[in-house]
Amino acid sequence: MPSSPPSDPDEPARVGARLRPLEPRSLGQRSAQIVRAATRLFQDAGFRNVSIEQIGAAVGLTGPAVYRHFPGKHDILSQALTTQVELVATLMADAEEHGRSPDEQLSLLLDGLGDLTAHRDVSTLWRREQRHLQPAELDVMRGYFAQLSEHFAALVAAARPDIAPSDAAMLGAAALSVYSNTSGMRGSLSPARLMEVQRAVADSILACRLPGPPEPDPDAERAPAHRRPASRRERILDAATQLFSERGFPDVRIDEIARTADVSIATLYQEVSGKSDLLRAVLWRGVQGILYVTAHALSRAGSDDPLDVLIRVFVEYALDVHGRIMPVFTSDLMYLPDTEQTQLRNAQMDYRAEWIDAIRSRNPLLTAADANALAQALFGYTCEIVESPQLWSRPGVAAELETIARAILNPTGLRGAPPES
């Protein structure tokens, strides 16, 4: 990465505006214990599946006793998310204070994020449970996260003066996603090895050059609007996919699905037995769909590198309408029975096995756990693109995602794991 030394070598570089400090609630020891316990429970079981009584029991309190510390469960979730933002904001402030250049600040920040996320899960809660905040709370939290993202993008732009600010923002978002998707990457990796993988991937992302936006083609056809399925069952599944991806399974009512599909509730129940049946069908469609198109593409690959084929098919699939299923799988799988969750995860593992094999064919020194972490890093970032209209609507986003995918899956700085003693 090109170096950008500060004008005064005796003073740390100042990049962009100072981070606006949060206004955290002052917590006593017992309140802090409640927040930590609730965070673990929310991450393991989901916000909707955890009761105040369970939170209290985790810290040796009755349910009613918890209300002496917090007005309700939403307030605990809000405080848990605020605590996570504070951790990242502190890392950014420390990097700004001690780094003498944008390069040094980036390095310190990435090291801090790696140490933080490799030893504890600080990302699942925001990615999966933010939708349960009250609207005003959600606006505040999104504002904080946007501020952190903008500060990081400014840091990348200062360290990479050779690229456009919009590209710095894209690369910055991709690098940050490596640390916000640690729960998927971890697998069987030790914290030390996970940090090595994270850092190598982040450095690889930040060093890559994105392709320029495509030249406007006046003769090109406009992308067709999403086609409305002809059959009523397909309309119902399409409506459920849309609503689950936008608002999450728990907050969608069956009458809303019927109305969006333009069928009566009675007609809907002729096709499915209920909302859980719809969730099951949506998730199986996503897993089986990507398995089928991938197997078909690989069977016709010829001399093409399997990893290049996987990237091309995955990007096309993810940025198409079926990409909406990705965040549903991440956030709502937990609402199915355990046996069905296991079946879906096993099918997903069959798909991931193709990536692990292709990654290790290109770099045989990597372990299966290393390759799994690289694939999960790509899946996590792609899911963030699908959920972000700002990123998803960028001109040439498919080519950009393919470029970033290659940087993620083949980080030049990642060496094989040392042999176990």
Q: How many domains does the chain have?
A: 2
| Dihedral, 211, 213, 214, 217 alpha carbons, nearest 10 | -170
Within-domain flag for 398: yes
Both tokens assigned to 362: 């290109």
Do 278 and 272 meet the contact criterion of CB atoms below 8 Å apart?
yes
Q: Give the DSSP letter string of 108-144.
A: HHHHHHHHHHHHS--SHHHHHHGGGS-HHHHHHHHHH
Within-domain flag for 84: yes
Within-domain flag for 196: no
| Dihedral, 141, 377, 176, 132 alpha carbons, nearest 10 | 0
Within-domain flag for 228: no
pLDDT grade for 218, boundaries at 50, 70 and 90: low
Does 22 have pLDDT greater than 60? Answer: no
CATH number of the domain that residue 382 is part of: 1.10.357.10
Long-range (24+ apart) CB contacts under 8 A made by 29-34 are 30/59, 30/61, 30/69, 31/69, 31/70, 31/79, 33/59, 34/59, 34/61, 34/66, 34/69, 34/70, 34/76
Do 319 and 401 meet the contact criterion of CB atoms below 8 Å apart?
yes
Structural domain ending residue among the three candidates 159, 190, 218: 159
Predicted model pTM: 0.84
For the chain, give the percent of residues with pLDDT over 70: 89
Average pLDDT value for residue range 175-182: 90
Distance CA 258, CA 236 (A): 7
Q: Which residues contact 182 (CB under 8 A, 6 or more apart)?
A: 117, 118, 121, 123, 194, 198
The pLDDT value given to residue 45: 83
Does 273 have pLDDT greater than 90? Answer: yes
Q: Provide the mean pLDDT of the chain.
A: 86
Range of the domain at 36: 29-159
The pLDDT value given to residue 399: 93
Within-domain flag for 225: no
pLDDT grade for 16, boundaries at 50, 70 and 90: low
Average pLDDT value for residue range 173-197: 92
Distance CA 170, CA 33 (A): 37
Residue with the two structure tokens 């991450």: 43
Within-domain flag for 234: no
Structural domain ending residue among the three candidates 159, 189, 212: 159
Closest CA to 63 of 71, 73, 55: 55
Average pLDDT value for residue range 231-254: 93
Closest CA to 381 of 224, 159, 176, 106: 176
What SS3 class is residue 151? helix
The pLDDT value given to residue 122: 67
Residue with the two structure tokens 């045989």: 364
Does 90 have pLDDT greater than 80? Answer: yes
Within-domain flag for 181: no
Within-domain flag for 17: no
pLDDT grade for 44, boundaries at 50, 70 and 90: confident
Structural domain ending residue among the three candidates 159, 179, 203: 159
